[in-house]
Amino acid sequence: MMLSFKDVSASIGIIPILRGLDVEIPQSQTVAMIGRNGAGKTTFLRTIMGFTRTTGEIRFDGKRIDTLHPPKRPGLGIGYAPEDRRLFSAFTVEENILLPAQAAGLDQAETQKRLDRAYEILPELREMAGRPGGQVSGGQGKMVALARALMLGRKLVLLDEPFQGLAPALAQRYSEALRALRDSDRSVTLIITESNPALLRGFADRTLVIERGEIAEGAPQTEGESA
Amino acid sequence: MNLTTFLLALFDGVSYAALVFIVALGLTLIFGVMRILNVAHGSLYAIGAYATVSLVGWVLALGAAPILAFPLMIVSAILVGVLIGGPVEYLLLRRIYDKPEVLQLLVTFAVFMILEDVQRLVWGTQPYFEAQALRALGNVTVFGVTYTVYQLILLPLVALTLLVGLRFFLRRTVTGKLITATTEDREAAQSIGIDADRVFLLTFVMGAILAGLGGALASPTTSILPGMGADMIVLSFAVVATAGLGQIEGAAIAALMIGMGRSFAIYIWPEVAVLVPYLIMVLVLLVRPEGLFGSPAARKI
């Protein structure tokens, strides 16, 4: 199992958000996590990254990670692109993409290899490599955040509402990039949260529906449409 | 005011501004990255001065050349940063980052009080004076005004090197980039694998080294005595607040303004000289509450 949750509850401050989750996600699966705003989608991803107060057991790639210091988790092969993209405005687009590799202390050759791969999946980023991180549009920022997540996310990539606020043409480009990512490496596991299930139809292997902090298995095509 | 007094005031101002800037640089670095106003910074400055005087006095008594005082200043600063700054961050501040600012201020103030007494315990209350380093570099005469090379050339040069060096470090080196990223967005930094705890420890130690270095560099120019830390922390607060919290280049300009204001006041209207730095700060903050170069929302360094 790539990722497993055993009786995981998470809270932010004193407010419980996730309640007793039991989920198993096998390697190379693409999971769409559907839920309304406030249902706990973001908290689910932030719990994997270690930013919530958590009880229960989370295992990644056979290793228990819920007790692991949050900044150590990306190094295991987890990439995370938060909803609000959160680029560093002090740095250029390329410096932003490179930061995770530098934080992990990867050598020059490996860093370059991963950067090339990110550019292969998102070729349009090459042209804006030198632009300051604070001067890209919302949609472009999402692309940069995806590229940044790919630098360390060799095993698991978490994308929080990537299509939120994207213009249709950019959304199209973004899903092409996701397909390119999956085609380039079939072993990578993807978890994508989304409030609009239509956007991930036909792309996800599996749909999970999150409602008031509890997760249920969803039949992607039918239940998704009624949500 | 004739040319001689003008030049004297100018030189006094430059050398004073350089010292204040070095201390303020550490204070603004720590604030910029960690959002903690470190009152104990003044004690680190004072201990840097005491440590230098003791170390230089001891080594020179063994018959070493006076020029050795310079590397010993750096050694003292690093000792202060690592041996005092490190434990203060690791054992104390680390526990209160998510606590209210008032509490953080109280804790660093408590550290300041403790360190003040430690100084009295270790070095007593008698003033120390050790100016070998100052004499080793000799004097220079500019338009008929003789001034020490140490204060007129070395101090401003060190201040400038630190300004340029720190900027380069934060923008161009990997470690510096990790610090800059953590400053901007701590959670986003952690989510890409940056260990914010280590960044904070490193930043605090660096800031403490700058405080210690300020004290070390000040030591040949002044008597080392209890209370010097309190004077310096108030003054460097004024510089940092005038510049805008977390502003590195701004701190250099604010230090120059305040240093010059003070030294010219000494020659023109000595009664108010002590007040001038704070008058400048108050005037600037009345017009721009976020400081000369600060912006109300953005968090950068």
Q: Decide if A49 touches B, using CB distance below 8 A.
A: yes
- B195 contacts A99? CB cut-off 8 A: no
Is position A27 within any domain? yes
Which of A148-152, A216-220, B143-147 shows the highest mean pLDDT? A148-152
What is the Cα–Cα distance from B91 to B88, expressed in whole angstroms? 6
Q: Give how far Cα B50 sits from Cα of A18, A44, B89, B222, B229, Å.
A: 55, 53, 22, 11, 11
The mean pLDDT value of chain B amounts to: 92
pLDDT above 80 (res B296): no
Cβ–Cβ under 8 Å, residues A85 and A103 = no
A49 within a domain of the structure (yes/no): yes
Across the interface, do A99 and B178 touch by the CB < 8 Å criterion? Answer: yes
Residue that wins the pLDDT comparison between A189 and A1: A189
Other beta carbons within 10 Å of A182:
18
As a whole number, mean pLDDT of residues A102-129 equals: 94
Residues A107-116: tens digit of each pLDDT: 999 999 999 9
Q: What is the pLDDT of residue A185?
A: 86
Contact call for B193 and A74, based on CB within 8 A: yes
Set of chain B residues whose Cβ sits within 8 Å of the Cβ of A50: 190
Interface of A with B in 84-123 (CB under 8 A): 86, 88-91, 95, 99-100, 102-104
- CATH number for A179: 3.40.50.300
Give the per-residue pLDDT at A96.
95
Tokens of A110: 């490996």
Confidence of residue A15 (pLDDT cuts 50, 70, 90): confident
Mean pLDDT of B147-176: 95
The residue segments making up the domain with residue A69 are 3-221
Quote the number of domains for chain A.
1
Q: How far apart are CA B26 and CA B24, in angstroms?
A: 5
- Across the interface, do A49 and B191 touch by the CB < 8 Å criterion? yes
**Contact (CB<8Å) B192/A75:** no
Closest CA to B40 of B260, B295, B180, B215: B215
Return the structure tokens found at A30.
């693409």
What pLDDT, on a 0 to 100 scale, did the predictor assign at position A222?
Answer: 44
Length of chain B: 301
Half-sphere exposure of B134 (CA within 13 A, CB side): 16
- Domains of chain B with bracketed CATH: 3-287 (1.10.3470)
pLDDT for B295 beyond 80: no
**pLDDT above 90 as % of chain A:** 64
Q: How far is CA B13 from CA A138, B16, B299, in A?
A: 48, 5, 31
- Find the mean pLDDT for residues A40-66: 93
Chain A nearest C-alpha distance from B237 (Å): 25
pLDDT at A86 over 70: yes
pLDDT tens, B95-123?
998 889 899 999 999 999 999 999 999 99
For residue A227, tell me if it sits in a domain: no
pLDDT digits (tens, 9 = 90+) for B197-250: 999 999 999 999 999 999 999 999 999 999 899 989 999 999 999 998 888 899
Can you tell me the distance from the alpha carbon of A193 to that of A42, in angstroms, rounded to the nearest whole number? 8
Counting every residue, how long is chain A?
227
Chain B residues with at least one Cβ partner in A under 8 Å: 171, 174, 177-178, 180-181, 184-185, 187-197, 300
Please compute the mean of the pLDDT values over residues A141-170 and round it to a whole number.
92
How does residue B300 score in pLDDT terms, banded at 50, 70 and 90?
A: low
ipTM of the complex, rounded to two decimals: 0.88
Domain assignment present for A158: yes
Q: Which residue has the higher pLDDT, B198 or B130?
A: B198
What pLDDT band is residue A36 in, cutting at 50, 70 and 90? confident
Q: Tokens representing B197?
A: 């705890």
Mean pLDDT of B145-167: 95
Say what percent of chain B tops pLDDT 70. 98
Residue A226 resides in a domain: no
Helical residues (DSSP H) of chain A, grouped into ranges:
41-49, 93-103, 108-121, 124-127, 138-152, 168-184, 222-226
Q: Which residue has the higher pLDDT, B295 or B180?
A: B180
Q: What is the pLDDT of residue A225?
A: 42
Structure confidence at residue B293 as a pLDDT band (50, 70, 90): confident
- Residue A139 pLDDT > 90, yes or no? no
The arithmetic mean of pLDDT across residues A127-142, rounded, is: 90
Quick check: A72 contacting B, CB < 8 Å? Answer: yes
% residues pLDDT > 90 (chain B): 76
Calpha distance B179→B195 (Å, rounded)? 10
Tokens of B29: 């670095």
SS (HEC) of chain B: CCHHHHHHHHHHHHHHHHHHHHHHHHHHHHHHHHCCCCCCHHHHHHHHHHHHHHHHHHHHHCCCCHHHHHHHHHHHHHHHHHHHHHHHHHHHHHHHCCCCHHHHHHHHHHHHHHHHHHHHHHHCCCCECCCHHHHHCCEEEECCEEEEHHHHHHHHHHHHHHHHHHHHHHHHCHHHHHHHHHHHCHHHHHHCCCCHHHHHHHHHHHHHHHHHHHHHHHHHHCCECCCHHHHHHHHHHHHHHHHCCCCHHHHHHHHHHHHHHHHHHHHHCHHHCCCHHHHHHHHHHHHCCCCCCCCCCCCCC
In this structure, are residues B183 and B299 in contact, taking their beta carbons and an 8 Å threshold?
yes
